[in-house]
Amino acid sequence: MASYTRSTAREWAREKMLGVANVTIPTMTQDFRRLNEKAIRHDVELAIEHGFVGTLACSEVAITPDEYAEFVRIMVDQAAGRLFVVHHAVFNTLEDNIEAARRAAEAGAELVLLGYPPYFYPKSLEEVHAYTRAFCDAVDLAVMVFPIPTWGFGRLDPADIPVALLRRLVDDCPTIVAIKAEGGMPNIMAPIEVHRAFHKEVVISFPMEHEFIPLAQLIDVPFCGTNFSAFYGPLLPRIFTMIREGRFEEATAAFYRMDAARKAFGSVPQAGNGLINRMMWKYESWLQGYNGGPLRHPTARLYQRDMIALRRGQEASGLDPTRDPDEAFFTGRNPA
């Protein structure tokens, strides 16, 4: 269970949400029948070695509720307090999400990244408030609210979840401890507005590295995540440290060194119609030593042209990707 109470959740967040958090995607056994525990432990351990302070237990894959609860338990056990595990609240209904969050809390998750189901189609922002508050009232875990175009709320407001609604939620829900600011993408007005309005009350995350690195040199951004930063290996946690220590020229030089990898990442199909290609993300992290290996179908696919582009981008940025042949990705580093 969490180490804080509802009334102290924001204090916990200020202490713990200082750094970069990546994403851990579950790996299945070769017959796709169960979780590959050794592979999951490998990925958590490498995330700790790379300097991440937290990691998202990705649920946006073909996984049962029972398997997901076990996935979180394995991650928490391997982390042993060295990083915090984030529950991924994107199940089918509000009721499903409440139940999954309670089970994740029992398994040791300490933070929730709150998403909204594909069949949640609110007619007003008031319905978004009602859904969010109902979740927060029912779950004792700290919550990171997530404005982003993915949910389709842009038809209600160009900021996706506007500041006026966030103001009500922060006031109404003491367990809202953070805002993952991606509203109105690709523009940065909404994240800047969110930071200006709330950074003294809750933790503000700029999860897009190409925004975080320059903006954190101008304003206080204590958290970057959850995100695809495993693609860069240990580099983004190192840049985070540079920025916190005021070593801005070093951070800027690293930003430019990442450019080829960044452009390679942007050149391949990361997502479509609101669903991230998690197989692609597994490959991107596999290049940096993570497990890779099987994801249960249905999943988006991974093609040779994209693997070539991603590997070459890492090489050009000096990220030293694995020399293992791409075919080894499909088996993974810890087959079971």
**What is the number of structural domains in the chain?**
1
Share above pLDDT 70 across residues of the chain, in percent, rounded to a whole number: 100
Give 68-104 pLDDT, tens digit per residue: 999 999 999 999 999 999 999 999 999 999 999 999 9
Residue 335 lies in a domain: no
In tens, the pLDDT along 26-76 reads: 999 999 999 999 999 999 999 999 999 999 999 999 999 999 999 999 999
What is the average pLDDT across 239-255?
98
Kindly report, residue by residue over 173-187, the tens digit of the pLDDT. 999 999 999 999 999
pLDDT in tens, 192-229: 999 999 999 999 999 999 999 999 999 999 999 999 99
Establish if 1 belongs to a structural domain: no
- pLDDT tens across 286-331, in order? 999 999 999 999 999 999 999 999 999 999 999 999 999 999 999 9
Please check the confidence at residue 1 and state whether its pLDDT lies above 90. Answer: no
In this structure, what CATH number is given to the domain that contains residue 244?
Answer: 3.20.20.70
How confident is the model over 259-270, as pLDDT tens digits?
999 999 999 999
Range of the domain at 152: 6-330
Residue 325 has a pLDDT of: 98
Average pLDDT of span 277-284: 98
pLDDT score recorded for residue 17? 98
**3-state SS string for the chain:** CCCCCHHHHHHHHHHHCCEEEEEECCCECCCCCCECHHHHHHHHHHHHHCCCCEEEECCCCCCCHHHHHHHHHHHHHHHCCCCEEEEEECCCCHHHHHHHHHHHHHHCCCEEEECCCCCCCCCCHHHHHHHHHHHHHHCCCEEEECCCHHHCHHHCCCCCCCHHHHHHHHHHCCCEEEEECCCCCCCCHHHHHHHHHHCCCCEEECCCHHHHHHHCCCCCCCEECCCCHHHHCCHHHHHHHHHHCCCHHHHHHHHHHCHHHHHHHHHCCCEECCEECHHHHHHHHHCCCCCCCCCCCCCCCCCHHHHHHHHHHHHHCCCCCCCCCHHHHHCCCCCC
Asked if the structure places residue 336 within a domain, the reply is: no
